[in-house]
Structure formats: structure tokens, C-alpha cells
Amino acid sequence: MGRDRTQDDELAAIDLLDRDTAVPKGGEPSRERIAGASLGRPLAYALPPVTDDLTTVGGAPRDILLCFPFDLEELPGARDYREATLTVRLDDGSHAVTLHPAPGSTAADGAEVAAFGLGKDRLQWVFRAPGRSGALRPDGRWAQAVVRLPAAATELSGRLSLTTVTVQPVLGGAFRRREAETPQETPFRLSAADLWPAAVRPTVRQGALPGAWALASYEDTASAAGERLPPGLRRLCLAVDIEKYSARDNTGMVRLQRVLLRALREACARAGIDWHRCGRQAQGDGYLLVFEPGVDETRVVPGLLNGLAAALAEANATASPPQRVRMRACLHQGIVHEADSGYAGSAVVSLFRVLDSDPVRRALADAPATHLVAAFSDGLYQDLVSHGYSGLTATGFRRAEIHVPAKSFTGVAWIRAFPSPAPRESRAHERPAPAAEG
């Protein structure tokens, strides 16, 4: 149970109780304490007024930069944290404008971050330990968001909760996994007197609050019939995967992830896409990008592929053959939802079914001099390549039937091995600048 403290910097010290406690017959449940945490008092900064066309009936909206610090307690013995999730529920019509750490980012200690709630009153950050055997550092965690208040609001309030996943080695090399949660939400309330003034609004170029803008906002409200489904919006999606990632040692895996992220950023820059306005989801040895609605696919798609090929050529220019980075990529479009733990929809499922299929894997394996093999869904190919748009010639593409019996999936893809440009070429072409940030 939460125990309120009087220290200015601590909101509450809380217990994390076992989620899977058995209830004895005819008795009351007795939940085992797994761990504990300290929730810091939220820090709030009043940002300068919005100066664009965003207005409300009562005047201009007010934006507050909110910071949520928290610490997990040290675990005894050989137990480790594998995952920690902070959930924030805002009251009275407030909603998030930006989130940080951003979806698909990596924390300073290597933790992988998933973040949800842009445009909503329910915000969530999931911190996952890196790799299969990594552990989360328990102290010094935080999350922050720019929150937009209704014009007439005089205070900001909400509730905080935490969940964790811990692991403990047992006999035989296995691990015991335990999920824990706070038994109740911890409320917070901030008045105007609690706000610190901020001289300028944070921008992406200052390295703060990049956010994720790919999916439209919606109210996460509940009704008697259940929670509303988040909007299904048509998006262009790109998924990539690195060949033989798990065969590398730890140092090699770290290098591959750096090359992967750099290549995707370079590809977005080449395509004129603002990286910070993409929906992003890290997959360890792969990555998913969900682009904003209304992008010009006839220009963005060839820009992405040319950018990936150029970035890989540059990364591999001085690498020995065993150390070269080779990648599979897949492009598809369809209805995508922002769900509670990632991007959902049959379009995303189909995207990864094709990406991981035997024909696409064989295409890369059969082209040892190539760094990149790309697959288009049949619909995207017919929309783009068959019409002869600039940079999208049908030369080199071959049609492949995709069958994944274990997943009851069948489909058609068009696969092409992209030639590797000379490394210097990756710097020779002028790249379109991303959209203005901040």
C-alpha cells in the first residue's frame, strides 16, 4: 500500500505486489510483496503561450512540461528487473502533445523504450532491459511529456501507477518470472503556484521531447460496451531486419544496432521525412517505421531505399566481409492502429510475414555482394512500380508467392536486390532537408 511522505521531492513510497497471487478457498487474497518504488513528486514547468493557430473558445491552450521521476528499490540476491512500466492518467481534458523518451528510443543505460499516449489522457512508458539476459538499472528512471491543458484550467491533476517484471535464476538454467503492480494509483495535483517558468519552448533540435507523430490522437475513453478502438488510419510502413544478428558477439550486436539506426535516419533524410514525426518501434535486430498520413509515396519510397543502400555501403566500406551489415527491408501500406503495446493491424502482421519469409531471406543469401534486399507488397508494387514513377523501375523485381503455413499466411511480394553504391556516392547527392522541427 502507498505510504505518503512529507519530503518535497517524494510523492509516495509504494509497494509492488504479485499479480498472480492465488486466493485460498473461502479466504481473502494475500498478495506477496515483490518489490517497492519511490515516486518522485512531478516537476512542472509553464511553457510560453502557443503562438500558432491552436486556440480554444476560452482562449489559447496552456502547455506544461511535466517530468515524472521514479526509483525502483534494489532487489536482493540474484533477482533483476527486466521491465518497468509507468502509467500516467491525466484529469479534466488534458492530453499529451509530446512524449520523452520517445517511442523506439534507447535510454542512457541501454534500456529499450516504448511510449504510448500521444494526444491522449493516458500516457505510458515501458522500459525493457537490453538483450535476452540484460537487467534494468533500478534507480534514476524518469519520463516527461508536454501536456496541453484546457484554456480555463487552473490546475493539473492525475494518477500514477507502476508495474514491473522481475526474473530470478532457478535450477537447470531457467528463470522464474514475476509480474508485480502497485495495488492502487497514486494521485498528484499541481496548482499554478507549483509551476516553474520556462523561458523557451523545448524543441527537437535541443535534444528534448522529440515525440512521435505518426498516428492521430484520440480520446481513450471507456463506455459500458468497453474501451473505444483507437483509430485505424492508412499508413505507409517500412520494416527492416539485419541478417545474422544473433550470430554476432555482444560488441558486434551493439555496432549493428548503431548502424541500423543510422541507416534509417539517413534513409528518412534522403526521402525528405522528418525522423521525429515517424512512428517508431524497435525490434532488437530490426525496426518498424510508420509514416505520417499523406506522404508522397512516389518520392518517399525510392528515397528510403536509395538512402538505406547508401548508408549500408558507407557503413561497410571499411568492414571485412564477416563484419558487413546486410539487411532485408519490406514496404507495405494499410490500416494501422496504435495499441497499448505497439502498432497493430493486419497490415503490420503482413509486413513482417513477408519480411521474415523464406523467399526474401533466400534473395539476400543468394546475393552475397548485395547489402540490401527489399520486398514490396503486391498492392504497393502495383500502385508504384508498375506505373513507372521516377526511381521505381520494374527492372530487377521478381514476383514471389509467400506461404507461411504455421501462421496461415499466403500472399504475393515483389523482391529486388539493390546494388550497393560506392560509399562516396552516399555523400555526393544532396539530400532533402527534413521538415522544420520545433
Q: What is the DSSP string of 389-430?
A: -TT---TT-EEEEEEEGGGTEEEEEEEEEEPPPPTTHHHHSP
The number of beta carbons lying within 10 Å of the beta carbon of residue 384 is 19
Instruction: Tell me the chain's radius of gyration from C-alpha atoms.
Output: 24
Tabulate helix, strand, coil % of the chain (nearest 5).
20, 40, 40
CB-based contact 100:143 (threshold 8 Å): yes
CB-based contact 371:420 (threshold 8 Å): yes
pLDDT, position 60: 61
Q: Write out pLDDT tens, residues 96-155.
A: 988 888 887 887 677 888 888 888 899 999 999 887 778 888 877 889 898 988 878 888
* Residue carrying the nine cell digits 527492416: 240
> Nearest 10 degrees: CA dihedral of 419, 423, 425, 431?
100
Alpha carbons 203 and 65: distance in angstroms, whole number: 12
Which cell is 31 given? 498478495
pLDDT, position 220: 37
Alpha carbon 64 to its chain centroid, in Å, reads 23
Which cell is 23 given? 486466493
| pLDDT mean over 84-91 | 94
Q: Write out pLDDT tens, residues 220-254.
A: 333 334 456 667 788 999 999 998 887 877 777 77
Alpha carbons 411 and 248: distance in angstroms, whole number: 32
